[in-house]
Amino acid sequence: MSDFVVYGSPLSPFVRKVEAVLHHAGAAYEFEAVNIFDMPDWFVEISPARRIPVLRDKTIATEGIPGTIADSSAICLFLEKRLQAGLFGSSAYEGGRAAWFEEYADTVLAQPTGMGLFRPIIFPRFSGKPSDVEAARKTWADTMPKLFDYLETALDDRPFFLGDTYSIADISVGAQMTQIDLILGLPDAGRWPALARHTEEMKTRPGFRENLATCSGLISAMLPQKVQLD
């Protein structure tokens, strides 16, 4: 019997992020899919920003607003406290740095990943139309390189963003980078070797592995092979 329910879609990198934290902490959970294009009223009530995921702690309440937390960062902070997940480092500075990379991933990296790459490639496929490859190619060429440059420098050839310590920073960046990998593949390992290695490592981690297997099955029906933008 699990204490938690995750509401959302497995294709969301923010859902992937929360699932990775739950798996890291060894916490069982239930998953309830939500139609993001036609959100039911009960979901809007617990997610007033109309975003996924939302987490429910059933030990608090099993229905309605009580026991629910919206927004992946708020959920991950809750799980850090609730489950002592150990994903914010061992010092105040490490905690701050981990939170910074989480914010960077959720905003600066997520916006072009979602709106500039994933949406133009995948969303037209829902209605049987071809991907807008040119829009994605422009984002890939004009926006993504400087973001990859920053992450490559931040890793500094170390395994994780906090050095040898796996943290919410790795999960958050990995959630976005694996979203890119699902449809386009990894960034050029010759130019961004540490970032490519990091993404490959995240793909093997509990939570990532299970989520990405589900996503690959969903995407392959619409996108039989990854798009080449270079």
Please name the residues in contact with 91: beta carbons below 8 A apart, sequence gap of 6 or more. Answer: none
Classified as helix, coil or strand, 52 is coil
For the segment 41-86, what is each residue's pLDDT rounded down to a tens digit? Answer: 999 999 999 999 999 999 999 999 999 999 999 999 999 999 999 9
Cβ neighbours of 118 (radius 10 Å)? 24
Place of tokens 């958050």: 172
Q: Report the percentage of the chain scoring pLDDT > 70.
A: 100
For the segment 169-221, what is each residue's pLDDT rounded down to a tens digit? Answer: 999 999 999 999 999 999 999 999 999 999 999 999 999 999 999 999 999 98
Cβ neighbours of 130 (radius 10 Å)? 8
For the segment 83-96, what is each residue's pLDDT rounded down to a tens digit? Answer: 999 999 999 999 99
Nearest Cα to Cα of residue 42 among 4, 73, 68: 68
Classified as helix, coil or strand, 29 is strand
Rg (CA), the chain: 17
Cβ neighbours of 230 (radius 10 Å)? 9
Mean pLDDT confidence for 151-167: 97
Q: Which fold has domain 4-83?
A: Glutaredoxin (3.40.30)
Sequence ranges of the domains in the chain: 4-83, 92-220
Nearest Cα to Cα of residue 20 among 32, 34, 6: 6
pLDDT beyond 90 at 1: no
Q: Which fold has domain 92-220?
A: Glutathione S-transferase Yfyf (Class Pi); Chain A, domain 2 (1.20.1050)
pLDDT beyond 90 at 6: yes
Mean pLDDT confidence for 150-158: 98
pLDDT beyond 90 at 97: yes
Nearest Cα to Cα of residue 132 among 122, 144, 143: 122
